[in-house]
């Protein structure tokens, strides 16, 4: 079913994982997509695989921590497709480590991408979304609800994204822009193979066991359903929903599991 027929979609962090799969499924459902990420080789490969004619896919290399990069990408996309209907602020990575072992610079680097990168994105696309009465999708995380040891920088950044989405849902309603916050749990992606400098360590094993990780295709299908229905927020993956329910109704269980060693800090990939 082509639920996104003739929709023009801008995706940040589109060179792998959730961003890449969003592009693939959106084109299959009738959309035109514009990919934005740092890795040129990956963007070229994905664009050619999705649509070798390049009629439904555009791309540009850039970093969400640079407002000028985003402004250029938005201008290029509008020049290519004529408009922007949906924006998915997906770019992000995770800084791992206990508070005492991290520096203020580690937190600044985390926020530069996961928080200020989102702000740069929404400022760059605001006027175009207002014209199209479009949608802004903010990719958060279950970590934005439940803090765990060794994950403070990432958790803080995703708490911020969740708060931002709530404020924007009020503020941008009068502009005719729908804002959706999506919070995935453990999904197959490169995020746990990326070090604290944002560099991919492709050979690093994913510390989350395979039985707990949700395939990217399945998670993205659930995300697109929420986007199509213009939901305000949606927790993605069954285990993510369970974690939130436990945190809400049995708030002492997770701290007990942590104290018993049942939840361990995620190590930084090396």
Contact 214, 237 (CB under 8 A): yes
Give the side-chain half-sphere CA count within 13 A for 190. Answer: 21
Supply 181's token pair: 């916050």
Whole-angstrom distance, CA of residue 5 vs CA of residue 22: 15
Six-digit token pair at 251? 């708030």
- Lookup: tokens for 232: 């305000």
Q: Is 154 a catalytic residue?
A: yes
Q: For residue 228, what are its two tokens?
A: 């199509």
Which among 107, 123, 145, 154 is annotated as catalytic?
A: 154
32: helix, coil or strand? strand
Residues serving a catalytic function are 154
């Amino acid at each position: 079913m082509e639920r996104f027929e003739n929709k023009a979609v801008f995706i940040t962090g589109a060179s792998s994982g959730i961003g890449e799969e969003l592009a693939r499924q959106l084109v299959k459902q009738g959309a035109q997509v514009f990919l934005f990420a740092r890795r040129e080789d990956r963007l070229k490969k994905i664009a050619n695989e999705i649509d070798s004619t390049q009629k439904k896919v555009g791309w540009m290399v850039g970093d969400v921590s640079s407002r000028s990069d985003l402004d250029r990408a938005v201008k290029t996309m509008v020049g290519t497709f004529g408009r922007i209907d949906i924006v998915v602020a997906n770019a992000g990575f995770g800084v791992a480590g206990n508070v005492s072992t991290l520096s203020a610079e580690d937190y600044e680097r985390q926020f530069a991408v996961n928080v200020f990168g989102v702000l740069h994105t929404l400022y760059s696309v605001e006027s175009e979304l207002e014209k199209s009465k479009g949608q802004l999708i903010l990719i958060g995380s279950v970590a934005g609800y439940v803090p765990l040891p060794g994950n403070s920088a990432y958790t803080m950044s995703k708490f911020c994204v969740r708060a931002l989405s709530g404020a924007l849902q009020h503020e941008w309603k009068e502009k005719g822009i729908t804002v959706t916050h999506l919070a995935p749990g453990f999904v197959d992606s490169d995020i746990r193979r990326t070090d604290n400098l944002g560099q991919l360590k492709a050979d690093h094993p994913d510390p989350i066991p395979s039985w707990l990780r949700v395939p990217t295709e399945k998670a993205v299908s659930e995300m697109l359903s929420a986007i199509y229905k213009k939901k305000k927020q949606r927790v993605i993956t069954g285990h993510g929903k369970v974690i939130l329910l436990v945190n809400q109704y049995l708030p002492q269980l997770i701290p007990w599991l942590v104290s018993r060693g049942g939840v361990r800090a995620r190590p930084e990939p090396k």
